[in-house]
């Protein structure tokens, strides 16, 4: 375990369903991230939360809705998804500091399949 836990590990959902992905970090970090990893594509940054405030939204469709209730938890709410949204969704956390001497800790990801 890396200290970042994602649930569920696998999710199959229909295009009309509503589901949520959960991420929890036990590292005391102050920033959390959602990334999308599709086959043969670069990692796509979706959302950034820094001290619980959303600081980045990379033109993500509104069918993806993030929520960060506190610095330890991050959710990704999903509704009316498309088959092309099938991917590995990765959560990461970091301890952002002015020194710049920090990186990410990733969870194991949620493998999402939209049918």
Partner 1 sequence: AQSVAQPEDQVNVAEGNPLTVKCTYSVSGNPYLFWYVQYPNRGLQFLLKYITGDNLVKGSYGFEAEFNKSQTSFHLKKPSALVSDSALYFCAVRDSPRDDKIIFGKGTRLHILP
Which chain residues interact with partner 1 by CB under 8 A? 2, 4, 6, 31, 33, 41-43, 45, 48, 50, 55-56, 88, 90, 92, 94, 96-101, 103-109, 111
Beta-carbon count within 10 A of 86 CB: 17
Query: At its nearest, how many Å lie between partner 1 and the CB of residue 79?
Result: 25
Residue-wise DSSP of 45-66: EEEEEETTEEEEE-S--TTEEE
Beta-carbon count within 10 A of 14 CB: 10
- Which one, 75 or 79, has the nearer CB to partner 1? 75
- Which one, 15 or 56, has the nearer CB to partner 1? 56
Query: At its nearest, how many Å lie between partner 1 and the CB of residue 62?
Result: 21
> What does the alpha-carbon distance between residue 72 and residue 29 come to, in Å, rounded to a whole number?
7
User: Phi and psi (nearest 5°) for 98?
Assistant: -65, -20
Query: At its nearest, how many Å lie between partner 1 and the CB of residue 91?
Result: 8
């Amino acid at each position: 375990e890396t200290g970042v836990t994602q649930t569920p590990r696998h999710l199959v959902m229909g295009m009309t369903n509503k589901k949520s992905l959960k991420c929890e970090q036990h590292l005391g970090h102050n920033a959390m991230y959602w990334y999308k990893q599709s086959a043969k594509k670069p990692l796509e940054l979706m959302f950034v939360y820094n001290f619980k405030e959303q600081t980045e939204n990379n033109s993500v469709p509104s069918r993806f809705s993030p929520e960060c209730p506190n610095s330890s938890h991050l959710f990704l709410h999903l509704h009316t998804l498309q088959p092309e949204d099938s991917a590995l969704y990765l959560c990461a956390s970091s301890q952002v500091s002015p020194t710049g001497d920090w990186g990410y800790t990733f969870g194991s990801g949620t493998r999402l399949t939209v049918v």
